[in-house]
Structure 1
Amino acid sequence: MADQINSRKEDHLRAIERDADIERHASGFDAIRLTHRALPELDFDAIDTRVSFIGKELSMPLLISSMTGGDSDEILRINRNLAEAAEECGVAMAVGSQRVMFSTPAARKSFALRDYAPTTVLLGNIGAVQLNKGFGADECQQAVDVLQADGLYLHLNPLQEAIQPEGDRDFSGLARKIAKLVPQMDVPILLKEVGAGLSPADIVRGLQAGIRHFDVAGRGGTSWSRIEYHRRKDDADDLGLVFQDWGLTTVEALTAAKTTLETGGHDATLIASGGLRNGVDMAKAILLGADICGIAAPFLAAAQDSRGAVINQINALHREFRTAMFLLGCTNCDELRRCDGLLK
């Protein structure tokens, strides 16, 4: 089992390299138009992109989303490059699933990143379904401790587990177990999908369990269903292709989540991820109700290269995001959230 979980991480990386159609290009952001302001009445250089996230200040509302972790030199290099770049640029970072460190102790070093990112926001990551496989507060705390994390993602991936040859498919009773876990942790628990979107009913169940941070992670970017298709045991098994576009787009999930929170009068943080690919997508996500934008795939090739390549990617996103704010006439992210910039 230990070797199987660790090798799965590398299988995922190889699938992404081989199959360009794993990137689905259908998050919904391309269909959204923004109102250009020809007279923005502000100084580009005075635009303030800073935001607060889990008690820390970020240079812009960017989270390098969960990608990988495990016992290999390549994975170790990827995570360290991401962590060092996140620290230098003042953005947040989340690691991939930490389940592997419990079966392969050597994988822990790929998650021991605080020395590489001493001040910025780091998020741990455990599959919520593991709460039905013997995991509890002790294991979740270990995931937090090895990273010295500021928060812990519990990721929800029923589609991926259903497609995965060795998937864990018992998702029964998880809301009750999450509610029990939340008060036992000394950092916030964040609820996250991995590419099929959180529905309003999921948000409500999360709120009832005490969750106040939600990553809607909609479809339209990386398809984990299609990734798992490449790991099928039977060549005739096309389940991963049938469901490669299953779920709510990121725009649909984000819009519905905002409405759910506003209707219920709930104060919660929304993270938009799933197919965001540039700073314009980030601006659109903030306008639609996101507090933070999660991006993963565009950083993978850069992280395989070098820390500097990741920094260059972050800087490009920052410039794009700032330019979009300038052309919408917004001097800071609070103004952007209130901006009437969506072209109806």
Structure 2
Amino acid sequence: SGMTGGSESVTRINENIAAVAEELGIAMGVGSQRAALLDASLRGSFKVVKEHSPPLVLANIGAPQLVKQNDGVVFGAEEAIDAMEMVGAHLIAVHLNFLQEMVQPEGDRKTDGVWEALKGLSQEVPVVAKETGAGVSRKAAIMLKEAGVKGIDVGGLSGTTFSAVEYYRALQASDSLKAALARTFWDWGIPTPVSLLRASVGLPLIATGGLRDGLDVARALSLGAALGGFARGVLKDAVESKEALMVRLQTIIEELKVALALQGIKRARDARERPGILLGQTAEIAKEMERRGL
């Protein structure tokens, strides 16, 4: 799942991920390419991905940058194509990090016209809409489908919360207002399992947000996901070495195989034949959202 890039210090991380993804035959996504699109000197941390051949690569830009913000920069089809060519991508993830932008000190907070811009972009390049910790509701999923995206990464409230990240950044910047905002919205969003159910509108779903192991992938598949993604869960290994990342991902794959075998499932694509069961507060949230059509 999209994690990092845009800094020469993280070139090795993307290289490790790309090399292991190629060897294992799994997909990979890069982090936001905004910095590299604006500063050519930072492209190396992304271009290293092209030295390998993962079967599926996702480029990455932000939805807020599809409309004019205070810096005057607007990303359109030209920039999206540039981002894809930079990493040899098959698809481009457009991340919907509106919560993060709203609470960060230098955030891009203008949203008018984003949906129309996304719709226009989706006619030019294959787009996957990617949430970044707040999840996707039924209404949002329908709007994204109408915009023409090829898939949805639900990015639910179960993993990294960028509101928390911005809370600590605001503290470092002595911005008490933004720190208070970020703290208030620390737990804002829809849990990943619920989002998988609510975002099921006929598009392929990618489950990210809190997945820790292969059993979590199996759970996500049973709730309708086509793919499961990891960011923080494998970042430490990606930083350490290719070998450490290889062991981590091989373990996840074996865990998934065992989880499927124990259910009598031969292929991952058939996991939805054993629908997952939600319990406790997660089940209550799912039930209430369904009742209200959210």
TM-score of the superposed pair, with normalisation by structure 1: 0.76
Tell me the secondary structure at the aligned position of residue 28 of structure 2.
strand
What is the aligned partner in structure 1 of residue 98 from structure 2?
158
Query: Given the alignment of the two structures, is residue 137 of structure 1 paired with residue 87 of structure 2, yes or no?
Result: no
Cα 1:310–1:255, aligned 2, differ >3 Å: closer, same or farther?
same
What is the aligned counterpart of 1:310 among 231, 245, 249? 245
What is the aligned partner in structure 1 of residue 129 from structure 2?
191
What is the aligned counterpart of 2:199 among 257, 260, 264? 257
What is the aligned counterpart of 2:169 among 206, 227, 231? 231
What is the aligned counterpart of 2:152 among 202, 214, 228? 214
Query: Given the alignment of the two structures, is residue 69 of structure 1 paired with residue 9 of structure 2, yes or no?
Result: no
Counterpart-to-counterpart distance in 2, 1:296 and 1:101 = 20
What is the aligned counterpart of 2:227 among 280, 292, 295? 292
What is the aligned counterpart of 2:24 among 89, 105, 110? 89
Conservation of the 8 A alpha-carbon contact between 2:211 and 2:233: no
CA RMSD for the aligned pairs?
Answer: 1.5
Cα 1:78–1:340, aligned 2, differ >3 Å: closer, same or farther?
closer
1:276-308: CA deviation from partner (whole Å, max 9, x where unpaired):
111111111000000011111111111111111
Conservation of the 8 A alpha-carbon contact between 1:71 and 1:104: no
Counterpart-to-counterpart distance in 1, 2:278 and 2:78 = 49
What is the aligned partner in structure 2 of residue 147 from structure 1?
87
What is the aligned counterpart of 2:258 among 304, 323, 328? 323
Tell me the secondary structure at the aligned position of residue 207 of structure 1.
helix
Please state which structure has a larger fraction of its residues in helix: 2
Tell me the secondary structure at the aligned position of residue 281 of structure 1.
helix
Cα 1:272–1:234, aligned 2, differ >3 Å: closer, same or farther?
same
Conservation of the 8 A alpha-carbon contact between 2:26 and 2:54: no
Query: Given the alignment of the two structures, is residue 174 of structure 1 paired with residue 114 of structure 2, yes or no?
Result: yes
In the TM superposition, residue 341 of structure 1 has moved relative to its aligned partner by 5.9
In the TM superposition, residue 118 of structure 1 has moved relative to its aligned partner by 1.7
Counterpart-to-counterpart distance in 2, 1:254 and 1:84 = 29
- Quick one: which amino acid aligns to residue 69 of structure 1? G
Tell me the secondary structure at the aligned position of residue 248 of structure 1.
coil
Question: Quick check: 314-323 or 111-120, which moved more?
Answer: 111-120
Conservation of the 8 A alpha-carbon contact between 2:226 and 2:269: no
Conservation of the 8 A alpha-carbon contact between 1:87 and 1:116: no
TM-score of the superposed pair, with normalisation by structure 2: 0.88
- Quick one: which amino acid aligns to residue 293 of structure 1? G
Q: How many residues get paired?
A: 270
What is the aligned counterpart of 2:215 among 265, 280, 284? 280
Tell me the secondary structure at the aligned position of residue 66 of structure 1.
coil
In the TM superposition, residue 235 of structure 1 has moved relative to its aligned partner by 5.8
In the TM superposition, residue 102 of structure 1 has moved relative to its aligned partner by 2.4
- Quick one: which amino acid aligns to residue 274 of structure 1? G
Counterpart-to-counterpart distance in 1, 2:56 and 2:275 = 30
Counterpart-to-counterpart distance in 2, 1:126 and 1:180 = 15
Conservation of the 8 A alpha-carbon contact between 1:328 and 1:341: no
Conservation of the 8 A alpha-carbon contact between 2:105 and 2:175: no
Conservation of the 8 A alpha-carbon contact between 1:179 and 1:210: yes
In the TM superposition, residue 220 of structure 1 has moved relative to its aligned partner by 1.4
- Quick one: which amino acid aligns to residue 99 of structure 1? R
1:178-207: CA deviation from partner (whole Å, max 9, x where unpaired):
11111222xx20001000001111111111
Structure 1 unaligned regions, length at least 5: 1-64
Cα 1:92–1:333, aligned 2, differ >3 Å: closer, same or farther?
same
In the TM superposition, residue 328 of structure 1 has moved relative to its aligned partner by 1.1
Counterpart-to-counterpart distance in 2, 1:112 and 1:173 = 31
